Structure 1
Amino acid sequence: MKLRYLLCLVLLLPLAACTVQVGGHHPNPYYAPPAHVEWRWDPGIDAYVVLGWPHLYYRDRTYYRWHDNHWYSSSRHDGPWAKGPKRMPPGLSKKYGKPGRGHGGGGY
């Protein structure tokens, strides 16, 4: 009898890891921003857009801010800000251009 239960468990265990996804929406693979800000996912820039804060984005526990033609980063939505993050989502670079070039824009 115990062998039968063990066999059922071994056969059903792989099914427990399966998930069914309905529709064409695929969740992004990054950490969600903290709940103290409102946001939306923008697949075009591969980052979250923080609503109510112009030119502020979030991805993988880092906030990115475009200000005076330069990128800044912080672990908090309200700073402190460090100039020139080492790594950033490539979509943000495409949206605003390279730092100091004076073009790009948009915001939410």
Structure 2
Amino acid sequence: MNRLISAAVAATLLSLAGCTLHSPAPGSPDGGPSGSAGSPPVSKSHPRFAPPPGVSSHWNGTLGVYQIDSERNTYYRERTFYRWQDGWSWAGTLQGPWQPVDSTGVPPALYRHHAQ
């Protein structure tokens, strides 16, 4: 019985020995490309937030959202599209329907980006 327990402990320790931790790259808080000074952090994706399905976009770390490449002032995060056109609106798909929303319904950094 002791041999069985010893073998199980040894197997567990060996499997854990292969695990390593990696720090984000210097200059990039999320480990993505750091970009040049003064420019917003830009990468194709984010490790926590999934990109919009079927839409070309890129992650904007300064705003905390994906920017839709084909649409001006249109963004995406957590299954919601956001659009700025003289006020905020949101939709579940890029085609709409678009519903008006106030500041409480928009990610804070994104809202501040278009604040007057």
TM-score (norm 2): 0.67
Within 5 A, what are the aligned runs for 1:10-49?
10-12=12-14, 18-21=20-23, 23-24=25-26, 25=28, 26=30, 28=46, 30-49=48-67
Paired residues of 1:30 and 1:59 also in contact (CA < 8 A): no
Q: Which runs of 5+ in 1 are unaligned?
A: 98-102, 104-108
Where structure 2 has 5 or more consecutive residues not aligned to the other structure, the ranges are 32-45
Question: 1:70 is matched with which residue: 65, 68, 87?
Answer: 87
Distance change (3 Å), C-alpha of 1:15 and 1:35: farther
Q: 1:76 and 1:91 mapped to 2: Cα distance?
A: 21
**Number of residue pairs matched?**
97
Question: Identity percentage over the alignment?
Answer: 25
Cα distance per residue 1:11-35 (max 9 Å; x no partner): 3555576542462341646421234
Task: Identify if the C-alpha distance between structure 1 residues 16 and 35 changes in structure 2 by more than 3 Å, giving closer, same or farther.
Answer: farther
8 Å CA contact 2:80–2:91 kept in 1: the answer is yes
- Cα distance, 1:29–1:55 mapped onto 2, change above 3 Å: same
* Two-structure CA RMSD over aligned residues (Å): 2.5
SS in 2 for 1:11: helix
